[in-house]
Structure 1
Amino acid sequence: MRFVIRLSLISLVALIVVCIYAGTTSAQPAPQRDGSFLKNRLEQDDVNDDGKVSRDEFSGPAPMFQRLDRDGDGEIEIKEVVKIMSMRSPANNRKANARIPSDLEIKRDVVFGKGGDRDLTMHLVFPTKKTDQPLPAYVWVHGGGWQSGSKEGGVNQVSRMVAEGFVGATIEYRLTGEAPFPAQIEDCKCAIRFLRAHAKEYGIDPERIAVAGSSAGGHLVALLGTSGDVKELEGSGGWPDQSSRVQAVVDLYGPSDLATFVTTEGFEAHNRTGSPESKLLGGGEVIGNKEGIRRVNPITYIDDQDPPFLILHGTKDPVVPMNQSQALHDALGTAGVETKLKLIPGAKHGGREFSTPEINDLIMSFLKKQLPVPK
């Protein structure tokens, strides 16, 4: 009986949220009442792609957040909500690519290399309008503290860029529960090498590859930008004859210097054993692991050959201190690398402030300037 009541409550709340998200009224039918619409909107709200939606990320009204936050921990578990919704309607099993805009095509779970002894995959998103000229690529790397998240939410992240003339890719990488650093950057570099090796097949210009990511994904794309072809981070996942260099980086509130991070007032808990940063380094307290801190820091590898950076960070970020983006920006500038730091007043760790028209236009303008799209 308790399960039935909970299921009915979630279903009812989900229907209300769907109506609010979609702007429907009582005189209009609610779209996709099976829950797929709700899942899609929650994934869009999940700015840092960690599989959860925080209060700051949620774009619906506060009462609805409280209803969907079943355990009251301040986060909506997308997977759990979708699991419950799927029990009430088999229609939720429709292929995910049904949610892709009609002017885009998706190729799912393309194997791009090996992470240890298993396959690594990516989703590729293409414009349906074909062109004889190769297109720039836009690669999304998900966040989640290097320990959670997946490539799924990245489809929404790349779709807008694909509609503007890019080929999109959203990639997986080994999480810290499977392997510590440098597994994560090795897998990201393997994905770049794969795209370069298959550029002709996918209509990509191999000299125009941009990367973007948020939080832990922001750290990894920054590292891709500064450590192109650094042998100690390349790994052996495949395509060794190709370069892992990229031509533009969009870093959304990613960590950089962990020594500064975990000693910043209010962030000291990140130094402890078991923190995401500790797991990235293989365990133990962060401070004291000088070599590990050096290896994971994008600033370590900066030189004047690095690509242009666009860095965005909220001034009230409670998860990654703003000084992480400031330090990276300053180091890039000192080395003569083109860099722009956009601090968003009052913004926290993700949230709607990072998807305003102003920020979307800023990112699009940056990418089109660095990687012109064919007319």
Structure 2
Amino acid sequence: MPTFLDIPFAAPDGEVLKADLYLPDSVDAPPPVILFLHGGGWRFGDRKLAPDLQRYFASQGFAMASIDYRLSTVAPFPAAVEDVKTGIRWLRSVADQYGVDASQLGIWGSSAGAHLGALAALSGSERFAGDAYAEYSSDVQALVDGYGPTDFLRQDEFRDPDGKPSDDPESIQLPAGKRSTDPDSLESLFIGAPILEVPDQVAQANPISHIRPQNTPFLILHGLSDTAVPWQQSEMLYNALAQAGCNAELVLIEGLGHGFFNRNDLDERGPFHLQYRNTQKPDEVLHQRGCIFPMVAEFFSKTLTAKARLI
């Protein structure tokens, strides 16, 4: 399977950002691209904090990419979302070089990466644009949001004080008992100021503030046992997308906490009990059982116009 690692794609303010690419072995046309955005509270992690991108989903005919973005230790908001949009445009600039179809590009985000992906998808091409590869579009054709924050100022009202964090590679590094409104919370460090003191700036960092009628379909997944980002954050995003007439699916998963996309063996513990909602049928809540990674693959298969087929 063709793999290209440690590719420098940008250096904002001298901070070198790198990308990894994983391409399918045999396709009969350029494959669509899925860009994975890692979690880590905007504070830690890099492009390697990801599931096995060869298995999920280069082996199924997608070109997979994972990129760095500036952490809050380096630069506050909006640096990280600018880097995400730069990464999208870079992928389009090298599409011919790597033989991929970056006109069909989806984002798959985990936690903070889901927040950045949603913000990039919803904010339009003019906001948080950055400077590099300006001749290319930063639009995306599909987005999978895994347990991302939606409204920083409303996270604490849903927190379970008795909840215990899961032991995945993301959650284990999140400070226990921390509230989003604390002056040194991950959200405040990301913004660059205590979030209660800069509500206008926080609003600009909230994906929910940028929702408008648009064509990017969303698949939103959240574990009902998440103690890092309450599941109500995903429900709020879904409801706001539905109200704007957007195409969105919400899947709430019993028994899962935070960071489950980092577990390559996730579905070996399934199938899971799911609560499923779709804006196309707003009055229905389906209760069913299913596995997580196949659901993500199916979503991208139906939303990215794949000209490529495995041969």
TM-score under structure 1 normalisation? Answer: 0.68
Select the residue among 80, 83, 107 that pairs with 1:184: 80
Q: Give the AA of the match of 1:247.
A: Q
Q: Could you say if the C-alpha distance between residues 314 and 278 of structure 1 is closer, same or farther in structure 2, counting changes exceeding 3 Å?
A: same
Q: Is structure 2 residue 239 aligned with structure 1 residue 343?
A: no
Counterpart CA distance in 2 for 1:172 and 1:265 is: 29
* Partner SS, residue 235 of structure 2: helix
Displacement of 1:255:
0.3
Q: What corresponds to 1:271 in structure 2?
A: 181
Q: What corresponds to 2:139 in structure 1?
A: 245
Counterpart CA distance in 2 for 1:207 and 1:167 is: 12
- For each residue in 1:305-333, what CA deviation from the matched residue of structure 2 results, as whole angstroms up to 9, or x when unmatched? 24000000011211101111011111111
Counterpart CA distance in 2 for 1:366 and 1:298 is: 21
Aligned residues: 268
* Partner SS, residue 156 of structure 1: coil
Q: Is the Cα contact below 8 Å between 1:110 and 1:121 reproduced in 2? A: yes
Q: Is structure 2 residue 301 aligned with structure 1 residue 368?
A: yes
Counterpart CA distance in 1 for 2:47 and 2:102 is: 22
Displacement of 1:257:
0.5
Q: Is the Cα contact below 8 Å between 2:159 and 2:227 reproduced in 1? A: no
Q: What corresponds to 1:222 in structure 2?
A: 118
The structure with the greater share of residues assigned to helix is 1
**Aligned positions of 1:1-375 closer than 5 A:** 104-131=1-28, 133-154=29-50, 156-157=52-53, 159-229=55-125, 231-236=126-131, 238-266=132-160, 269-284=179-194, 286-351=195-260, 355=267, 356=270, 358-373=291-306, 374-375=308-309
Counterpart CA distance in 1 for 2:215 and 2:122 is: 6
- For each residue in 1:171-224, what CA deviation from the matched residue of structure 2 results, as whole angstroms up to 9, or x when unmatched? 000000000000110001000001111211122223210111111111111112
Counterpart CA distance in 1 for 2:253 and 2:139 is: 29
Q: Give the AA of the match of 2:134.
A: P
Q: Give the AA of the match of 1:233.
A: F
Displacement of 1:228:
3.2
Larger Rg: 1
Counterpart CA distance in 1 for 2:49 and 2:140 is: 22
Q: What corresponds to 1:40 in structure 2?
A: none
Q: Could you say if the C-alpha distance between residues 200 and 274 of structure 1 is closer, same or farther in structure 2, counting changes exceeding 3 Å?
A: same
Which runs of 5 or more structure 1 residues have no equivalent in the other structure?
1-103
Q: Is the Cα contact below 8 Å between 1:109 and 1:123 reproduced in 2? A: yes
TM-score under structure 2 normalisation? Answer: 0.81
Q: What corresponds to 2:174 in structure 1?
A: none
Counterpart CA distance in 2 for 1:253 and 1:213 is: 9
Displacement of 1:266:
4.2
Q: What corresponds to 2:170 in structure 1?
A: none
Name which structure has the greater RCO, CA cutoff 8 Å, separation 6+.
Answer: 2
* Partner SS, residue 170 of structure 1: strand
Counterpart CA distance in 2 for 1:228 and 1:354 is: 34
- For each residue in 1:141-189, what CA deviation from the matched residue of structure 2 results, as whole angstroms up to 9, or x when unmatched? 0000000011113361454211111111010000000000001100010
Displacement of 1:345:
1.3
Counterpart CA distance in 1 for 2:255 and 2:12 is: 39
Q: Give the AA of the match of 1:292.
A: Q
Q: Is the Cα contact below 8 Å between 1:199 and 1:205 reproduced in 2? A: yes
Counterpart CA distance in 1 for 2:266 and 2:218 is: 17
Counterpart CA distance in 1 for 2:43 and 2:49 is: 16
Q: Is the Cα contact below 8 Å between 2:27 and 2:61 reproduced in 1? A: no
Q: Is the Cα contact below 8 Å between 2:25 and 2:59 reproduced in 1? A: no
Counterpart CA distance in 2 for 1:154 and 1:265 is: 26
* Partner SS, residue 154 of structure 1: coil
Displacement of 1:119:
2.3
Q: Is the Cα contact below 8 Å between 1:228 and 1:246 reproduced in 2? A: no
Q: Give the AA of the match of 2:154.
A: T
Q: Is the Cα contact below 8 Å between 1:125 and 1:159 reproduced in 2? A: no
Counterpart CA distance in 2 for 1:152 and 1:146 is: 14
Q: Give the AA of the match of 1:126.
A: L
Q: Is the Cα contact below 8 Å between 1:251 and 1:309 reproduced in 2? A: yes
